[in-house]
A and B are shown apart, each in its own frame.
Chain A
């Protein structure tokens, strides 16, 4: 009989390496020259260097290497799809399996915390000030990069706590608050100030552009898409992925009985919805998506994770109709080749079929001292690490614009 893993909401999905395990893993590293792992990171992190530092017991140096390069180093260690980035190129794949780079990164970042390291210090002021809208990955990336150049950065964000998608769009089992807070603390060390609970409207962007030398808009794709061609999409019991995940996070999992859950979508967000629903005690959880297994966008790590939790997936099926009176009772699907149909009994249906720009910001264009970046224009909801890089690049453009 297959054993299904039980995991409470918020319980860590992967145990952290202690120093012995980290040394064992680092000793597996081939310490390659021109290491392929160091060529595949969107934000240019150098795993070969920090793994070598771990191998030679320079744990603090490993943390320094990561933090200097990636302001969200602690978070990325836990949530990056390493198997299609740094680990993909790992030379060790030619022998057995790649080095667990993400877990080594998390080990290194744990040292930063243990030792109370302050890798980044506030730079002398350059006399400029920039507003960043949104406190998600790209905005944080931009803010940190600008602060390193002595810019006084203020982040405006609608949520209670900074982090954006990191905090509200990813399950706490994969990314806990303490890890996000560690990254945020590093940004605060640089002198960045946060104005939380401040939702910036489209109109306010222009005002900020007058008050600040430049404005960075990194509001991301905060609206979950709904497939309105599916009949019954507006019934009670239909939710969107981001809303579902955020609600669960804010209420620490106390969101009532989910009953039978069907999730539509095959990406990482859908996987997070599935694990969350399972952890919150749903009677059953099914994930259905239109892609084939080969094409499904979720990382293998996330798919394996929900499989371990006992969630079945059904590829190559499109949603037809959500049935029920006012409330969801069932949902029907047809195979993409229209050969067969299937109906699931359901109390909750969650659309995890991609995100749309934040309301009012869809048509915003880069103009004058207003700069755009992140998921909204560049990374398109792919990975956190790509958003950080996009924010960093926008910061370089802003720095050029401000001539600093």
Chain B
């Protein structure tokens, strides 16, 4: 493989690659972050520093499982740093000295104007390359902090402005998804002087109930709380928020750092295609360790080589114009699936789902265990999505609706697409 350049200048800060640890349990001290840097991460957003010092509960994590797979969603009740801002400043200084080429983003959170100003000044002094404002932690023990602030545009703008007045480094506002329109507080942050936003922080959740204790999980002495949900399961929600940020007229050209369920380089490419210029990861690191950055970087490099890209900017944002309102979709055709009977194992999943969940458009030959797609097919592709055999049911004939003129139609690639 040729050497592919994964570097990017993000907010004027040179990053050797776009992969950063997000502000979270994975980066709260020197040993962790030095190990992560050695493993190849381009930078970190240091776990949120506050004047407030967190007092944590036990247990504090829970998972959302799916049969036979590692967990797909993760619930976290940890708040911000357990160390004083002075202790954190010392750690940040040492990291900046020992790893001068890595990017030290520092997440901060105040509960009033004075605290925000103090943290901005002190973390800048400690050597932060970027300040990220945590307006979005959904499990703070104080309503003057976290996602309650992030839902209040006045506070977002005010606190952003105060931070910007107290630092010379770029400022990113980290947004909460626990809101209908993430663009609104993001515009407020921009007005306050933020150089970018990062999205999304975790989603308020209850992962599950302990039915014997009749209590949400994790069970903290018989009770539990709503708190932030993350991991692979939230990626679709994160992508949606990022697309909305990139498409808003008042946010054109306003950079975004993407967060939410990134495990593989392919996930990262999806965020980049929707316009993210930086990728933040936590849950996959909690699950698998810092080492995942090896495959993130190598996989991304192979992807770029394959497509002839020489820089991340060659493809960042390329999918943004292709997310359009529902009312603008071309509804003139139906793509009828085709079944490869050499591959079909005769399980009947397509038939069951089509009958019970769609348009009863698959006939079932009970003797031969063979499905046949009929004229009732509306081209919904439920069968294709439930079929367990790779490339058995694929997009087939394109039928144009009555009175519609035939034209070229782009076909979706299989998720497990390989050339």
Q: Which A residues are in CB contact (< 8 Å) with B296? A: 56
Give chain B nearest CB distance to A370 CB in angstroms. Answer: 37
Residue of A nearest to B287 (CB): A31
Given A27-B69, A27-B70: A60 and B291 interface contact (C-beta under 8 Å) = no
Contacts of A53 in B (CB 8 A): 294-295, 298-299
Interface residue from B1, B291, B299, B418 paired with A19 (Cβ < 8 Å): B418
Q: How far is the CA of A20 from the CA of B415 in the complex (A)?
A: 10
Question: How far, in angstroms, from A83 to B256 measured CA to CA in the complex?
Answer: 49
Which of B295, B390, B419 contacts A61, CB < 8 Å? Answer: B295
Contacts A19-B390, A27-B70; A58 near B295 (Cβ below 8 A): yes
Contact B418 A20 (CB under 8 A): no
The 8 A CB mask of A34-74 against B (1 = contact, 0 = none) is 00000000000000000011001111110010000000000
A57, B265: Cβ atoms under 8 Å?
Answer: yes
Determine if A229 is an interface residue (Cβ-Cβ < 8 Å). no
Contact A31-B288, Cβ < 8 Å, known A57-B266, A60-B302:
yes
CB < 8 Å neighbour of A56 from B69, B264, B306, B416: B264
Task: Chain B residues near A159: list those with CB within 8 A.
Answer: none
**Chain A contacts for B291, CB-based, 8 A:** 52
C-alpha gap A31/B298 in the complex (Å): 18
B299 partner, pick from A21, A31, A61, A115, beta carbons under 8 A: A61
A23 at interface, CB cutoff 8 A: yes
Chain A residues near B391 (CB-CB < 8 A): 18
Q: Determine chain A's interface SS by DSSP, over half rule.
A: helix
Is there an interface contact between A18 and B390, defined as CB atoms closer than 8 Å? yes
Q: Work out how many contacts link A and B, with CB atoms closer than 8 A.
A: 59
Residues of A within 8 A of B70 (CB): 27
Within the assembled complex, what's the spacing in Å between the Cα atoms of A56 and B295?
A: 7
Determine if A111 is an interface residue (Cβ-Cβ < 8 Å). yes
Residues of B within 8 A of A64 (CB): 1, 298
Q: Are A56 and B265 in contact (CB under 8 A)?
A: yes
Q: How far is the CA of A31 from the CA of B288 in the complex (A)?
A: 8
Tell me whether B418 and A58 are in contact (CB under 8 A): no
Pick from B292, B294, B295, B419: contact of A114, CB under 8 Å:
B419
Interface residues of A in 12-38 (CB under 8 A from B): 18-21, 23, 27, 31
Assess the A58–B299 pair: CB atoms within 8 A: yes
The distance from the CB of B71 to the nearest CB of chain A, in whole angstroms, is 12
- Are A20 and B416 within 8 A (Cβ)? yes
Q: Contact between A59 and B418 (Cβ–Cβ < 8 Å)?
A: yes
Which A104-146 residues have C-beta < 8 A from chain B? 111, 114-115, 119
Task: Determine if A57 and B299 form an interchain contact, defined as CB atoms under 8 angstroms apart.
Answer: yes
Contact B299 A56 (CB under 8 A): yes
Residue of B nearest to A49 (CB): B294
CA distance A59 to B294 in the complex (A): 13
Residues of B within 8 A of A119 (CB): 1
B299 touches A60 (CB 8 A): yes
Q: Mark B268-301, 1 if CB is under 8 A from A, else 0.
A: 0000000000000000000011011011101100
Shortest CB–CB separation between residue B69 and chain A, in angstroms? 6
Residues of B374-419 contacting chain A, CB below 8 A: 390-391, 416, 418-419
How far is B418's CA from A178's CA once the two chains are assembled, in angstroms?
Answer: 20
Residues of B within 8 A of A111 (CB): 418
Q: B282: shortest Cβ distance to chain A, in Å?
A: 16
Pair A19/B416 contact, Cβ less than 8 Å: yes
State the CA gap A111–B298 with chains docked (Å).
15
Whole-angstrom CA separation of A58 from B264 in the bound complex: 8
Residue of B nearest to A61 (CB): B298
Please measure, in the bound complex, the distance between the C-alpha atom of A57 and the C-alpha atom of B306, giving whole angstroms. Answer: 15
B390 close to A20 (CB less than 8 A): yes
Q: How far is the CB of A294 from chain B (nearest CB, A)?
A: 35
Contacts of B266 in A (CB 8 A): 57
In chain B, positions 1-48 with a C-beta closer than 8 Å to chain A are 1
In the complex, which of the residues A57, A60, A114 contacts B264, with contact meaning CB atoms closer than 8 Å?
Answer: A57
- Are A61 and B418 closer than 8 Å at their CB atoms? no
Q: How far is the CA of A11 from the CA of B151 in the complex (A)?
A: 64
Chain A residue with Cβ nearest B1:
A64
Whole-angstrom CA separation of A189 from B265 in the bound complex: 29
Residue picked from B288, B291, B302, most chain A C-beta under 10 Å: B302
Q: How far is the CA of A371 from the CA of B113 in the complex (A)?
A: 77
Bound CA span A57–B266, Å: 7
A177 CA to B289 CA, complexed, in Å: 40
With a CB–CB cut-off of 8 A, which chain B residues contact A59? 418
Cβ-closest chain A residue relative to B300:
A58
Complex-state Cα separation, A21 to B70, whole angstroms: 16
B390 near A56 with CB under 8 A, answer no
Q: When the two chains form their complex, are residues B295 and A115 in contact, meaning their CB atoms are under 8 A apart?
A: no
The reply on B263 being an interface residue by CB < 8 A is yes
Report yes or no: B306 in contact with A115, Cβ–Cβ below 8 A. Answer: yes
Q: Whose C-beta in chain B lies nearest to the C-beta of A64? A: B1
Within 8 A of B (CB), among A163-195: none
Check if B292 sits within 8 Å of A56, measured CB to CB: yes
Which residues of the partner chain A approach B289 to less than 8 Å between Cβ atoms?
Answer: 31
Q: Which residue of chain B has the shortest Cβ distance to A24 in the bound complex?
A: B68
In the complex, how many angstroms separate the beta carbon of B201 from the nearest chain A beta carbon?
24
Q: Which residues of B contact A18 (CB under 8 A)?
A: 390-391, 416
Nearest residue, chain A, Cβ from B70: A27
Please give the distance in Å from B290's CB to the nearest CB on chain A: 12
Q: Complex formed: what's the CA distance from A186 to B302 in Å?
A: 19
Chain B residues 294-342 with CB under 8 Å of chain A are 294-296, 298-299, 302, 306
Q: Looking across the interface, which residue of chain B has its beta carbon closest to that of A65?
A: B298
What are 10 of the A-B contact pairs (CB < 8 Å)? A18-B391, A27-B69, A52-B291, A53-B298, A56-B263, A56-B295, A57-B265, A58-B298, A114-B419, A115-B306
A27-B69, A53-B295, A58-B295 given; name 4 further pairs at CB < 8 Å: A31-B289, A56-B296, A60-B299, A115-B306
CB-CB nearest 5 A-B residue pairs: A58-B299, A56-B295, A58-B295, A61-B298, A19-B416
